[in-house]
Amino acid sequence: MGSACIIRPARLDELPRLTEVEIDAFATLAEALGVVGEAHTLPLDVLRGSLDAGLLLVAVDDGDRPVGFLAAEEIEGTLYVIELDVCRETQRKGIGRRLMGAAVEIAEARRLPALTLTTDRYVPFNAPFYASLGFTLPKVEAVPQFLQKKLDHELAVGMDPERRVAMILAL
């Protein structure tokens, strides 16, 4: 499946499916973090904003059904990755890596100098995965203000400050 899947721009009628993918993927994260609770999904207007900006990508199976997605937005001259999710049944097959590669291509085409994101420091498929793609942890004073605001918001809604980090991939 992994290499057979196609990465393409998402369509408006696929947004509800992307929420399903996000909920499914959350189970793996919840297990890794040892947390219980509801998956917090992106509001549809956030997905719609990425779609309208041409920054919502899907990985689809042979039936053209999304099994993963990447939502991004342009913020302060960077491509900020809002969300990256892959269904449990298709995880660990390189789909997330391919979605990130497609995001890098978009950033390069738009002549953006970097990709940015916030993630969990310890979960293997979070910060260590992004590090394997070349993302680095900026020094505290080098974190762009908008990324610091994202982190501050995450902590304000109850995320663990020890675990949340900003990462940057300079292009």
pLDDT in tens, 87-104: 999 999 999 999 999 999
The answer to whether the CB of 5 falls within 8 A of the CB of 66 is no
**Token reading at 63:** 């039936």
| Helical spans, DSSP H, in 82-144 | 95-109, 127-132
Phi, psi (rounded to 5 degrees) for 30: -60, -40
Average pLDDT, the chain: 91
Phi, psi (rounded to 5 degrees) for 87: -55, 145
Does this model's pTM top 0.75? My answer is yes
